[in-house]
Chains A and B, each alone.
Chain A
Amino acid sequence: MDREATKARIDALIEPFNKKGIAIDDSTRFTDDLEFDSLTVMDFVAAIEDEFDIIISMNQQAEIENYCQLVDAVVKLKG
C-alpha cells in the first residue's frame, strides 16, 4: 500500500487524539511528545485497526515509539 496515502489517512485519524495540537512529524513520540496515556493508546490503536482492518498487537505496539514507525508498521501490516 502506498506510504503517502496511508500516512494521509493516519494524519486524519490522529487529529482528535492530538488534544494539545502539537505539530506532528516523523519523529514525534506518542508517550513523550503527545502524552498519550494507556487509555488513549488503546482508543487510538483501535481507530487505526478499524480504519485499515488490521491487528496491531501489544507486542507490535511495543516496537512503535514514534509517528514514522507507526506509518511503517501499518504499511507493512496492510501488505
Chain B
Amino acid sequence: MTEAVSQPDQPETLSGGTKDLFAKFDPLIEMRANLLASGVEDPFGLVMEKVLSPTTAICNGRETILLGTYNYMGMTFDPDVIAAGKQALDDFGSGTTGSRVLNGTYAGHKAVEEALKDFYAMDHAMVFSTGYQANLGIISTIAGKGDYIVLDIDSHASIWDGCKMGDAEVVPFKHNDIEAMEKRLRRIPEGAGKLVVLEGVYSMMGDIAPLKEMIAVAKKHGAMVLVDEAHSMGFIGPNGRGVAEDQGCLEDVDFVIGTFSKSVGTVGGFCVSNHPKFEIMRLVCRPYVFTASLPPSVVATAATSVRKLMHAADKRAHLWENSRVLHAGLKGAGFQLGTETPQSAIISVIMPDLERGAAMWEALLHEGLYVNLARPPATPANMTLLRCSLCAEHTASQVQEIIGMFERAGARAGIV
C-alpha cells in the first residue's frame, strides 16, 4: 500500500444507477467537500513552487522541510546525476518516441540495465517506464489463468492491478501472517502454478516483512517468489539491495521489483532476476512492449545514481541514525507510531481520525513541514496516518527541528 490518497489499493467495484457515469463518485465528492468546508487546506493539492534541495522546497511561499517524498538517499540534486542527465539530453535528445522493442532502446537503457545487474549481482535486468508498470507487467505476464497468486493483503495497488490483469486466481492473506500464508499455499490444487508476492517494506506503516521465514515457506510449497523492494532499495541491506539481502535470503527470490522514483531519485521501474528464461519477458510483457521507453536523460540519471548507491554506506548509516532519532523523538513526545521500533526510513504517525489528522497536517505545514496525509480507505484498518519518509540528506539538526514542529503542531491540533 502506498500513494493512494482517496482509494484503496485493492481495486473497488463501483456501480452507479443513473445515466451519469460519474454518479458512482458522489460519496467521494461529498467526503472531499466536507473536509474542505471545515476550512482545512487541501492535503492533496499542494504545489511545490520551488525545490531547493532533496529536503527543502518553497510551498505557499514558505520554506518547507520535506518529510514525505520517498527521496530516501537524496540523489535528486547529486551533481554527477544532474551532469549525466544534461549530457544525455544533449547527446540523445529529449525522448525516444518509441517502445523498448522497436526504436526505444538506446545505449542508456542498456547501461542502466547493466548498472542494475551489477547493483544486485543478478543475471537479468529489465527496465520499465514506471515502477507501477514493472509490477503490473511482470505479475500479469507470469501468472495467468489457472495459476494462483498468494499475496499479502496490504500489497500496493500496482500488485493488485497486475493480479487482476493477468486473470490468475488471487488469494490474499493477513498482513505478514506466515501461518495464514502457508495454509493458503497448502490448499492450492496440485499441479497449479504458484506465485507468492511480498514487499520488503510496507509503506503505510513502514514495517518490514519476515521475508526469510515467508520465502522458506513459499519454496517448501514449490512457489515462485516476487518481492517488491521499492521502499528499501539503496538503503536497507549491506549493499542496499533491500530487506531480502538484509535477511540473507535474496538468492531465494525469483524476481525483485524496484523503482527509480525513490532512492534512485528519478522515475522508472525494474525487475531483476536470475531466471534462465527471463529475457523472453521483453517480448511477452505488454506493459513493457506497448508503451514508450524512458527518455535518455532519465535513464542516464538513473544509471549514474544506481552506481553511486553501490558505494553509499555512509549515507545509509546516516539515514538509519535519522530514522532512529525521529522515531524516538516522536514516541517520546507522546505520538502513537506505526511500528514499535524504527524498521525503515518511513515513520508513520497514527492520528485519531481524519478531521484531526487533516488539522494536524495543516498545522505542520504552517510550521514549515510537509508530510504525507494517508487516510481511509487507502490505509490498513482504516487509520488516518501522517506518514514521514526520511532522507539521508536530512541533517541531525533538521531532524531535531522536525520533532519540535510535531510537538507544537500536535499541541495545537489536540493530538498530544
Contacts and interface: CB of A to CB of B under 8 A. Distances in A.
A68 interface: no
B194 to A, nearest CB: 12
A42 B171 CA distance: 10
Given A46-B180, A49-B183, A38 B377 contact: yes
B5 interface: no
B382 A58 contact: no
Using C-beta atoms within 8 Å of the partner chain, give the interface range for chain A: 10 to 19
A33 interface: no
Contact of B170 (A37, A38, A54, A57): A57
B377 A46 contact: no
A73 to B, nearest CB: 14
A15 interface: no
Interface residues of B, number: 20
A62 B13 CA distance: 9
Contact of B169 (A43, A53, A57): A57
A58 B183 contact: no
B161 to A, nearest CB: 13
Contacts of A60: 169
Contact of A42 (B153, B187, B188): B153
Interface string A12-30: 0000000000000000000
A75 to B, nearest CB: 17
Given A55-B187, A55-B188, A42 B381 contact: no
Interface in B136-165: 148, 153, 163
Main secondary structure of the interface of B (DSSP, over half): mixed
B404 interface: no
Given A38-B8, A38-B10, A62-B13, A50 B183 contact: yes
Contacts of B163: 58
A74 to B, nearest CB: 13
A55 B8 CA distance: 23
Contact of B381 (A39, A53, A58): A39
Contacts of A46: 173-174, 180
A55 B10 contact: no
Contacts of B382: 37, 39
B171 A58 contact: yes
A47 to B, nearest CB: 11
B174 A53 contact: no
B187 A49 contact: yes
Nearest to B170: A58
Interface of B: 8, 10, 13, 148, 153, 163, 169-174, 180, 183-184, 187-188, 377, 381-382
Interface of A: 37-39, 42-43, 46, 49-50, 53-55, 57-60, 62
15 contacts: A37-B377, A39-B382, A42-B153, A42-B174, A43-B174, A46-B174, A49-B187, A50-B183, A55-B148, A55-B169, A55-B187, A57-B170, A57-B171, A58-B169, A60-B169
